[in-house]
Every structure is written in C-alpha cells, then in structure tokens.
C-alpha cells in the first residue's frame, strides 16, 4: 500500500506518551507556484519525560526541525513519512517547516484548474490520515488538539477554514508564476483564523480560491447567531444561485431537527458548505466547513433520486457535527459511530423535516441494497470492525459501515423505543463532548435510558458479521383463515449467528375501488431463534400478500411464501406504499442474484414496476439491477435478444411517460446504455435525439444529456474521436473534459480499450475524477471479446497498481478496470489463482480483489441457473 501506514498498536503507544494540552499553529504559504506550497507547524504538547515518539508528515522536503529550541538536522529525523521526536520533556515545542505537494487525487490539499475560465481552486480532504500531507501532525483521532491556521494566498482569493477569520493582512509579497494558473502575479494576503475548539486533525480543513459565495445566518437554539455560507466555483455560480436559498433552508431545518431530537444545539462558531471540483467522495464533515462534491451543483437536469440524495448528503454531513466531530471515535474500529449514525439520522431528518417524505423507501432501495450485497461477500466484517491499521480503515468506508450500520440503528430504535433511544443519545453527547468515545460508552447510556440489556444485542448485531434470512411459513384453514404463521430464521454457515429482531408483519390485499394493493392489517412482534410463531395471526383471513418486515424495521433477507411470491411478481407495480414496494423489490432482487428467482421473472416484474413507480431511487436502482440481470445473469445464448427486448421496452416506456417527468428522463437515460455495435435502430434513435429530429416532449437537450447521447453513439462506434473533440470544443469545462474521456474510453474497439487502459494506469496528469471517467468508460462496453484480453492483464497489474498509486487512485483503478464483461469462468479461474498466490498481500488489497472475483463467481452461478431453466422473456 502506498504511503505511510499507522498500526493501532503504534497509535496506542503514541497516545500513551503524548499528553494534553496539545496546540498547533499551522502557517501555509500558497503563493509558491502550481506544484508545491510551504508548511510551517508549531506544536506544543505534553509528554512523558525522556520518551520518544513521532510526527506524521508526507512532504517533498523538510527544510527545518526545531525541538525545544534546538535545531535538528532534518535528514537525521525525517524518514518514511515520519519525524522522530527524541528525549522529550514534560512540555515540548516542535517547529517543522516543509515543502509539501498539491494533490490531484483528492487527498491532502487538492489543486484544480477550471479550463472554462482558468481559475485555480484549492480544497483539503484529510480523512483518513491526510492532514499529514499538509502539515506535521499527530494524525490519529484520539489525539485531539486546538488548531490555529494562518494562510498566505493571492489577494483575489477567499480563504476559509474551520473557524471564522480573526484578521487579514495585506502584504508586499508577490505570488510566483503558476500560483494563479496563467493569470499574472499579484500581491498576497494573510488570513488568520480563530483557534478551534478541541478537535481531531482529520477534521481540520482549508479551502482557497476565487470561489463565489453566499451568506446568511441561523438563530441557534442556545441563543447564538450562527453565520452560514455556501461557496462554489465561479463557472457554476449562476446555476448554483438558483438552489442556494433552498439549500440554506434544508440546512436550517436540519439544525432545528437535530437540536430538538438530541437536545444538543449546534456546537460550533459557523457553518460553511463549499462545493468543490474533482472530489473523491460525496462530502466531508470538516468542523464548521463541510466540503461537498460540486456535481451536486445542478447545471443540467438530474433525477429526483439525485436531488434527494443531495438533501440526504447535506443532512448527513450536518449530523456529523455531533456524531464524529463533537464526539469522535477513539480509533477507526468505531468508524460506524460516525457514519452509521449520520446515515440513519440524515434519512430520519429527510423523511420528517423535508418534502422528501419517502426517504425510508429511498434508503431501502439504495443504501440497504448496498449493504446486502457487501454483507454476502467473504470480505464482509462486523459493523464494529477489527481495524489493525490505516489500510484496513480505507476499505471500511463501505456498505457495512454506512448502510448496514444505519439499518441496525433503525432496528435498535424499534427495539428500545424512540424516546428512550434519543434520551440516551443526549446523555452520550453531553458526557463525551469534545472528546473521544467507544461503543461501550454508547451502550452504557442507552442501557440506562431503555432498561434493555444491550450487550447481548451488540454481540449479535454489531460484533458479528453476516446477514440472516427470515422465511415465511404460512398454513391456511379450509375457511381461508390462517391456521398457523411461523417465521423461520436462518444464518449462513460462515456466520452462524441468529439474531433477535423487532419487526412487523403486514397483510396486503387488493382494494376493489382503487385497484391498488393496500395494507389491511399489521402485527408487530419480537422474532428470536430458529422459529417464531406469530400467534396473533391465527384466525385472521389469509391476505393476498404477506410482508414480513413491513415498514422495514429490521435488517434481514426475506423469503416469501409461494402464494405471496407469485402475487408480488405479478402485482408489485400496484402496491400503493413506496416503502412496501421497496422492501418487496429488494427481496425479489436478492432472490434473483441468489439464483432462486428466474431472470425472466425479475425482468418482467421490473419492467411492469417501471411503468408506474413514483419513488425515484427505487426507480433508479430497479433500472441498475435490471441492467445487471440482462447483461450478466441471463442465459448467455439468449442474452442479445433479451437485451434488445429490454431496450425496446425501456424506449416504449419513455415515449409513454409524462412529458418532462423524472420517469421519462430515467427511462431514456437507461435506454442509452443498451446499445451494441451494429444496432442500426439504436443508432438512428440516438442520432435523432441528438439532432432534434426525434423529439420526446419535455425532454431537454441540455449539456449533460448531450454527453449521454455522445457516449451512447461512441459505445457503438457511430462517432469517432474527432466528433467527441468537436463536442468538447462547444464548451470546454471541468465536467465536459471528464465526459469526453469517458466517451473516448467507451468506444467499442480494441484500440480504444488499449488507449483507455494505458491512460488510466500510466497517465500521471489525470486527476482522480478524470481517471474514474476513463476507467468507467473502459469497463462499460458489453463485449466479451473486448474485455477478454484484459483479464490476465488485470491480475498481472493489480499489485503494481497498489504499490504505485495512492489509496483512492488504486481503489478507483482496481474497481473501475475490472473486466466484468469477460467470460466469468475465466475471471473466476485467474482470480482464484491470484488470491491463492497472494495470501500475504495487504488485507485491503485482497478485499478489493476478492469482492470482484466473488461477483464473477455469482455471475457464473446465476447465469448457469437461468440457462438451466430455458426460459424466454414474455413479450
């Protein structure tokens, strides 16, 4: 793994030596050109006298080190991204000056140049341990400190940090060539920020550049007036201005909801949200200054699913101000204390405090499906994961930590009661304010308010990996009433733990007046052990459909009784409740990918669902899973015909959809991914949409949709590179350069794939966002012939990529370049050989490779299952 690692043992040893209080003064000079900047850190800290420890720092050069007033030769103490601190005193001061490098990977201090106007933008991203790329630091979460930042930058820029600006000072210093891109040099200004409250280093932040800005205030529940700001690139300001008031309003609703729910007002001095380019994550919860990827600035039409996701993201990062920032985990094994809580509470806030009332259906279709996928891999892990070093941490920002953790918290609320749960959270936040906490600290507070024994609950839900299955066993008397209803719980052999569930069983029947399928009864109960009899169901009329886990209270796989399954596959589109549809659809998808439901049944059910579904995220994920089923799970001998049938069905549905609707937009966008070389009808349709000769009323030919059309034509070789370049020259922007790279890489030629492979791995100029675009285009062509040559190449290159790229770039390559359209038998054979021969490889690397190989095992198994059925898709 590239870069310095830090083990848990090393962190514990350093924590035992370094003592509070810890104070940092960090001075950054951002005027030194376009590749490097100067960083000076002054750190005052206590220690056990006579002991030695180290600072973390990734830098091109350390120019000076002074420890307790004595100069130390940098070459004697700086090695392997660490600065040795020897023979410490009870109170110490160390000053480190270094030359650090701007990043283009979204790690450390990222530098981006907007080609549309030449403006330069900087922003920091420090999670997990990347503050050390910007200043010398004890970079671990339990060595909290007070930070004061001072930044020298061009006078035309604005600079923001975690705290308000304390003062600014004009200087006579001039910027060096390259600092402002191609723009002329100018005088520099110094920004000095107020000292922070006690906080972890990974939550510190700096942004600088000529950002556009908007301001307002919030009257906090503790009586303080909180300054609020939003920022974005100048090139996006006109589009962003349309949404700023709405996003301020969403944030203020979040402030009020969280303060009321937890009984703890927002604790910090200000709250900025800055939308930044080429971000390698969704957003980051820096205290007082959240960074958010600027693809959330909508300049073209987006799905309602993405618009809702932006709201959830805004509220997720705001929730972190309490969970993760105000109270922080001691070590990364309790990362879930940050992410699971933020994911759960942001969904709760979205559902209860905004117009997105079906947010739990969104969560089920989107986040929960992510968790179910990852929890069935050999690489799954407990929510409270064993984290031995930083490399383990990187790969735990996953569906288990986020989505399963949030699902389990929803289960916990049902288990202990909502008021008891949030009363315990209030005690937890106040008891551990501005400090670090562990799982046991949380359970202690929740046990105190609920009276429940949560150690057993935790052992089942948080400390054991894997997912259970609950199957419905329903017996009916001659008069049509239920004679017995039993819920059977199963556990996978590799994770044989049966859990206690608080869940509901819903009775659904057709309403004759409306024709909708509606809930007519509901039973809530505790389920534990291998079998639970639902005594309250006996004697009730048997419903047309019985939904175990109604309202999605617990986290489990579901298997319906035969009559309910048949009813669901035929009538899912008629269910009136969005959350019920999402729960049922997710169960059908799970059965499909387990080889228990025919691909033809899933495709037919999904296409009918798409004719009426109104919940945008369920719609989006249904389309994604439909694509996976068509291209990977169907009988290989019938796949081309099935794909053509599905594409035509999507086009027909798009033409029938309401003009300008989310449904129309999602359907036509999905249709564009079904092109294959030689399909003249597809090419004619796409060309017609691009030229305007084919019009779908209400469908706008905006910038991003034009690029979707260009990429679709490129994927079937209906346009060449000159056409792609011509489209880019219409509007050369950061985003359009990424679209153009993806379109070039998507071309269905051996030459295009060779170019994309080489660019992704060896072009050091590509930013993280550009690399992801190239990799995505490379792997998107549904051609076994084009993918096959890269199976051996992929496994031969994996270790080199891991050793020569930063984590985020390596992850993007190893996930994005996997040739999943190759013969799964070949992928399985070579993948298993790689894993067997790399038993000693870094655990994080093995996890990435294992996840890909296991997906190929599943693809082969499910495709073989469907081939054995000899089914056809119903016309």
Active site members: 317
515: Cβ contacts below 8 Å, ≥ 6 apart: 574
Residue identified by tokens 């203020």 is: 252
d(CA 565, CA 83): 63
- Contact present, 54 and 85 (Cβ < 8 Å): yes
576: Cβ contacts below 8 Å, ≥ 6 apart: 511, 514, 516, 517, 518
d(CA 792, CA 417): 53
- Contact present, 192 and 165 (Cβ < 8 Å): yes
45 DSSP β-pair partners: 92
Positive or negative torsion for Cα 103, 108, 111, 112: positive
- Kindly provide the residue ranges of all beta strands, DSSP E only, lying in 415-573, ordered along the sequence: 435-437, 469-476, 482-490, 501-510, 517-527, 531-533, 545-548, 557-559
Orientation of helix 790-804 relative to helix 750-762, angle to 10°: 10
Tokens of 250: 């969403």
Positive or negative torsion for Cα 301, 306, 307, 310: negative
For the chain, the straight-line distance linking the first and the last C-alpha, in angstroms and rounded, comes to 51
* Tally of residues, the chain: 875
Peptide bond into 21 cis (omega under 30): yes
d(CA 566, CA 52): 69
d(CA 79, CA 192): 31
d(CA 65, CA 788): 53
d(CA 407, CA 371): 9
Exposure class string for 668-698: b at 16+ Cβ within 10 A, else e = bbbbbbbbbbebeebbebbbebbeeeeebee
Distances (CA, A) of 847 to 95, 130, 492, 651, 843: 39, 22, 20, 38, 6
DSSP state of 838: T
Tokens of 746: 């998507």
d(CA 73, CA 732): 48
Exposure class string for 121-157: b at 16+ Cβ within 10 A, else e = bbbbbbbbbbbbbbbbbbbbbbbbbbbbbbbbbbeeb
Tokens of 677: 């070389």
Q: How many CB atoms sit inside 10 A of residue 515's CB?
A: 9
Distances (CA, A) of 171 to 27, 161, 175, 178, 207: 15, 20, 11, 19, 20
d(CA 271, CA 294): 18
Distances (CA, A) of 181 to 158, 185, 233, 627: 16, 9, 15, 43
d(CA 574, CA 609): 8
Phi then psi for residue 147, to 5 deg, are: -120, 140
- Contact present, 457 and 439 (Cβ < 8 Å): no
Pinpoint the alpha helices (H) of 432-494: 439-450, 454-461
């Amino acid at each position: 793994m590239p870069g310095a690692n830090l083990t848990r043992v090393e962190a514990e040893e350093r924590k035992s030596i370094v003592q509070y209080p810890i104070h940092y003064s960090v001075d950054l000079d951002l005027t030194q050109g376009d590749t490097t900047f100067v960083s000076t850190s002054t750190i005052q800290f206590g220690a056990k006298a006579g002991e030695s420890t180290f600072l973390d720092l990734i830098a091109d050069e350390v120019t000076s080190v002074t420890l307790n007033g004595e100069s130390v030769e940098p070459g004697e103490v700086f090695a392997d991204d660490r600065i040795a601190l020897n023979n410490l005193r009870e109170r110490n001061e160390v000053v480190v000056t270094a030359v650090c490098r701007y990043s283009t990977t979204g790690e450390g201090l990222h530098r981006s140049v907007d080609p549309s106007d030449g403006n330069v933008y900087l922003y920091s991203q420090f999670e997990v341990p990347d503050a050390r790329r910007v200043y010398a630091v004890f970079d671990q979460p339990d060595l909290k400190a007070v930070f004061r930042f001072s930044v020298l930058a061009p006078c035309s820029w604005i600079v923001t940090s975690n705290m308000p600006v304390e003062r600014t000072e004009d200087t006579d210093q001039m910027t060096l060539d390259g600092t402002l891109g191609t723009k002329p040099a100018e005088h520099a200004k110094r920004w000095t920020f107020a000292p922070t409250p006690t906080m972890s280093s990974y939550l510190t932040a700096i942004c600088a550049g000529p950002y556009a800005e908007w301001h307002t205030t919030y009257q906090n529940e503790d009586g303080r007036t909180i300054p609020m700001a939003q920022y974005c690139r100048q090139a996006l300001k006109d589009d962003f201005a349309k949404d700023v008031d709405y996003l301020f309003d969403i944030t203020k609703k979040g402030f009020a909801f969280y303060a009321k729910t937890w009984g703890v007002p927002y604790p910090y001095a200000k709250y900025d949200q800055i939308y930044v380019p080429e971000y390698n994550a969704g957003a980051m919860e820096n205290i007082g200054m959240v960074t958010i990827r600027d693809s959330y600035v909508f300049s073209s039409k987006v799905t309602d699913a993405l618009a809702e996701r932006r709201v959830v993201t805004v509220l997720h990062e705001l929730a972190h101000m309490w969970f993760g920032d105000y109270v922080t985990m001691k070590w990364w094994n309790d990362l879930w204390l940050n992410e699971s809580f933020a994911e759960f509470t942001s969904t709760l806030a979205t559902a209860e405090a905004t117009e997105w009332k079906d947010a739990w259906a969104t969560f089920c279709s989107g986040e929960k499906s992510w968790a179910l996928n990852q929890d069935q891999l050999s690489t799954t892990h407990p929510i409270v994961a064993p984290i031995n070093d930083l490399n383990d941490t990187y790969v735990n920002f996953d569906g288990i930590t986020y989505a399963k953790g949030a699902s389990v918290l929803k289960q916990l609320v049902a288990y202990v009661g909502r008021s008891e749960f949030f009363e315990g959270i209030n005690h937890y936040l106040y008891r551990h304010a501005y400090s670090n906490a562990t799982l046991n600290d949380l359970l202690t507070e929740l046990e105190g308010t609920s009276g429940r024994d949560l150690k057993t609950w935790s052992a089942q839900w948080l400390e054991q990996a894997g997912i259970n299955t609950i199957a419905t066993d329903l017996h009916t008397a001659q008069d049509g009433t239920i004679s017995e209803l039993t819920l059977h719980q199963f556990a996978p052999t590799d994770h044989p733990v049966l859990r206690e569930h608080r869940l509901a069983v819903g009775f659904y029947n057709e309403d004759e007046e409306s024709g909708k399928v509606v809930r007519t009864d509901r039973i809530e109960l505790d389920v534990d052990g291998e079998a639970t009899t639902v005594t309250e169901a006996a004697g009730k009329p048997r419903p047309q459909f019985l939904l175990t886990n109604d309202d999605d209270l617990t986290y489990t796989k579901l298997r319906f009784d035969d009559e309910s399954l048949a009813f669901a596959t035929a009538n899912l589109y008629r269910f009136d409740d969005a959350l019920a549809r999402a729960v049922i659809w997710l169960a059908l998808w799970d059965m499909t990918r387990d080889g228990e439901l025919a691909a033809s049944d899933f495709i037919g059910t999904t296409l009918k669902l798409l004719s009426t579904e109104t919940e945008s995220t369920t719609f989006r994920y249904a389309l994604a899973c439909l694509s996976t089923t068509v291209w990977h799970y169907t009988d290989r001998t019938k796949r081309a015909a099935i794909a053509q049938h599905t594409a035509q069905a999507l086009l027909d549905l798009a033409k029938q959809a309401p003009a300008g609707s989310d449904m129309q937009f999602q359907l036509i966008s999905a249709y564009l991914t079904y092109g294959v070389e030689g399909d003249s009808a597809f090419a004619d349709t796409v060309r017609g949409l691009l030229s305007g000769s084919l019009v779908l009323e209400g469908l706008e030919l905006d910038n991003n949709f034009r690029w979707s059309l260009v990429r679709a034509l490129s994927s079937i070789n209906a346009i060449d590179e000159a056409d792609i370049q011509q489209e880019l020259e219409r509007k050369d922007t950061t985003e359009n350069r990424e679209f153009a790279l993806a379109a070039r890489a998507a071309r269905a030629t051996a030459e295009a794939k060779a170019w994309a492979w080489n660019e992704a791995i060896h072009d050091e100029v590509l930013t993280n966002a550009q690399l992801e675009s190239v990799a995505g285009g490379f792997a998107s062509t549904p051609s076994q012939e084009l993918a096959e040559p890269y199976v051996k190449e992929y496994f031969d290159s994996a270790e080199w990529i891991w050793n020569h790229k930063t984590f985020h770039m390596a992850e993007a390559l190893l996930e994005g370049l996997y040739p999943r359209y190759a013969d799964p038998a070949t992928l399985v054979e070579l993948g298993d050989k790689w894993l067997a021969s790399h038993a000693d490889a870094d655990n994080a690397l093995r996890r990435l490779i294992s996840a890909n190989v296991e997906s190929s095992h599943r693809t082969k198994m499910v495709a073989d299952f469907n081939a054995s059925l000899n089914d056809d898709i119903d016309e």
